[in-house]
Amino acid sequence: MTAAGIDGHLINWLGHAGGALVFGLFLLLLLRDRSLGRNKALGAAGIAFLWNGAELVGLWMGSVGPYLAAFESTAFSFLPALLFDLVIGGSPVWAVRVGYGLSAVATALHLAELVSDSEMLHGAGLYMVAAGFGVLAVYAAIRRRQRTLPALALLLLSLSILHFAEDEQHTAWWVELLVHHAGIPLAMFVLLQDYRFVFLDALIRFLANILVALVFAGAAEAWMLKWPSSALVGVAGLLILYSFARVRVQTLLTRLVFRREELSGFLDSLRGAGDEVELLARAEDRLRMYFGAGTAAASEEEVAEGAFLLGSGMEAGLGVRIGGGQIRVMRFGRRVGGRRYLSEDLQALRTAGERIREELESLREAGMQRLVAQAELRALQAQIHPHFLFNAFNTLYGIIPKEASGARRTVWNLADIFRYFLEADRTFVSVEDEVRIVRAYLEIESLRLGGKLVAEIDVEPAVMSARVPLLCLEPLVENAVKHGVSARAEGGTVRLRVWRDGELLRVEVADTGRGFGEAAVKGGGVGLDNVRQRLRLCYGPEADLVISSSAAGATVSFAVPFPL
């Protein structure tokens, strides 16, 4: 055997061994995590692995029998069809079918040669694959311009197939390398368009681990040769150092090779949001850009506050507590290039979550301060001086004859209501306190409206101690009396219901008045708007009033977490 023949034989061994290794590693990654990929990528990697493995078997046996040759040709004929499918993304369907049809016909020709005397069928099948996929590759380059390079790789792969159709055995090593083994890097180039980071990550980290292990293995061998009496102690110490060095090397790789932009830009972008809804939407959009992530479908998986992984590490989520025990979940889908979410990414999510919570608290505090300032201003405008107002009520109560019990009761209720309204230092009160003020208000209105007003209060005893925002019930009842019952000549009924519904406390105020106008249904008056703002500040942007209205009356309701 000539030197050139030996070189060509060695190149074949090295080429197909490298091909089997690289496709085997890629196939192992896909099989280990099926969420990474599609059956097309699995099929292409599997066929390429089998093709290189069959070539290695033939080299080891010294000759390729007809059955092994047919198997190799079949595998190599179907590989371009799967790669073409990946390049054009499965569309149009007719082109995909033409590709698989070419591979099927070529496979039939390879198998037919096993039972036929003709020696032309094998070559005809390979020529058909080369010419057919050459045309399809040009079509893919024209149709999918953003994937021109993979299409050109497919074109070169189809041209390299002509080499297998020739009977002459090339012995020059450079011919074997450039023509015979061209399919390995070309096929991998197409596959790695969608999974380049997964493969690069695994390969670089694998090589880094091997390098660190070799360094410490050499150090352990040198220790045992120089200090054999303390070999056990030395090797144990080196193993501990190896574990530490391996972690440090992986961390260094993450920082130097798999770089990310600084998180400070994201944190700065959260400033200046007008409300909680805008803040959360802005945070989710910026985090998606930061990670290069796509959208993720809603999941039924139970989640908690903080950062977590979904889909075997290919998707991630961040749960942010928005008030009242509710958690807003942000979901981030697959990243560009198949990149996983690493531990460093989860730490970045946790940092982002902490900053989002800080901004939410700042917004709520600012909103509460505005409400308190408005309440104090209204109190000052209405009362002039609290002590003077209550002294006047007490004087009026004292000069009313005891026989006028209704008038004395009205003054007492008015004093109680005003005292309650002026308690700006409290944010939450019990349902029992709120119901007491509602009863006082309804007694006053009953004296004014007489039989026109029918009031019904239905409150479960178990919820009396539950805490709710100050003045979240009375304004709803007042709104029902003012805009519902008193607006009708015949009057009507106002009904307050408070009950527990699982993990929620539900409040509903209904009346049999003439209903609200369209503007009131969409927004409500000052009283309803004030209640809405209190709910959002206490429980987050998801808390809101539900208003329904018709000619038969109106209903205003809300639900908050229970217990409080």
pLDDT digits (tens, 9 = 90+) for 213-225: 778 777 877 888 8
In this structure, of 246-260, 340-354, 372-386, 419-433, the range with the lowest mean pLDDT score is 372-386
In this structure, of 48-57, 405-414, 531-540, the range with the lowest mean pLDDT score is 405-414
Statement: residue 403 has pLDDT above 80: no
> What confidence tens digit (pLDDT) does each residue in 411-456 have?
777 777 767 766 656 778 899 999 988 888 888 888 778 788 899 9
Q: Which of 481, 458, 467, 477 is nearest to 432 (CA)?
A: 467
Q: Tell me, yes or no, whether 90 and 121 share the same domain.
A: yes
Q: Tell me, yes or no, whether 216 and 355 share the same domain.
A: no
Q: What is the pLDDT of residue 376?
A: 62
> What confidence tens digit (pLDDT) does each residue in 513-525 have?
877 765 455 545 6
Judge contact between 431 and 466, C-beta under 8 A: yes
In the chain, % of residues over pLDDT 70: 70
* pTM score of the predicted model: 0.41
Is 384 a member of any domain? no
Q: Tell me, yes or no, whether 471 and 334 share the same domain.
A: no
Is 339 a member of any domain? yes
Q: What is the pLDDT of residue 6?
A: 44
> What confidence tens digit (pLDDT) does each residue in 523-561 have?
456 678 888 888 888 887 778 899 988 888 899 999 998
- Other beta carbons within 10 Å of 248: 11
| Residue at a domain's end among 351, 367, 383 | 367
Q: At what angle do helices 121-143 and 93-112 cross, to 10 degrees?
A: 170
Is 18 a member of any domain? yes
Is 108 a member of any domain? yes
The boundaries of the domain holding residue 225 are 198-256
Q: Tell me, yes or no, whether 176 and 208 share the same domain.
A: no
Query: For the domain that residue 503 is a member of, what is the CATH number?
Result: 3.30.565.10
> What confidence tens digit (pLDDT) does each residue in 297-324 have?
665 555 667 877 776 567 888 888 876 5
Burial letters for 139-171: b for 16+ Cβ neighbours within 10 Å, e otherwise? bbbeeeeebeebbbbbbebbbbbbbbbeeeebb
The β-bridge relationship of strands 326-332 and 428-430 is: unpaired
Question: At 322, which amino acid appears?
Answer: I
Judge contact between 545 and 524, C-beta under 8 A: yes
Is 385 a member of any domain? no
Q: Which residue has the tokens 């990414």?
A: 345
Widest distance between CA atoms in the chain? 131
Judge contact between 148 and 141, C-beta under 8 A: yes
Q: What is the pLDDT of residue 158?
A: 81
Q: What is the pLDDT of residue 7?
A: 52
The token duo for 291 is: 């990670």
Q: Tell me, yes or no, whether 138 and 272 share the same domain.
A: no
Judge contact between 318 and 341, C-beta under 8 A: no
Statement: residue 37 has pLDDT above 50: no
Q: Tell me, yes or no, whether 49 and 22 share the same domain.
A: yes
Split into its structural domains, the chain has a count of 4
| Residue at a domain's end among 229, 256, 283 | 256
Q: What is d(CA 282, CA 413) in angstroms, rounded to the nearest whole number?
A: 48
pLDDT band at 178 (very low <50, low <70, confident <90, very high): low
Q: Tell me, yes or no, whether 33 and 164 share the same domain.
A: yes
Q: Tell me, yes or no, whether 268 and 251 share the same domain.
A: no
Q: What is d(CA 261, CA 539) in angstroms, rounded to the nearest whole number?
A: 34
Q: Tell me, yes or no, whether 285 and 427 share the same domain.
A: no
Mean pLDDT of the 141-146 span: 80
Q: Tell me, yes or no, whether 244 and 126 share the same domain.
A: no
Is 409 a member of any domain? no
Q: Tell me, yes or no, whether 59 and 151 share the same domain.
A: yes
Is 25 a member of any domain? yes
| Residue at a domain's end among 256, 289, 306 | 256
Q: Tell me, yes or no, whether 247 and 279 share the same domain.
A: no
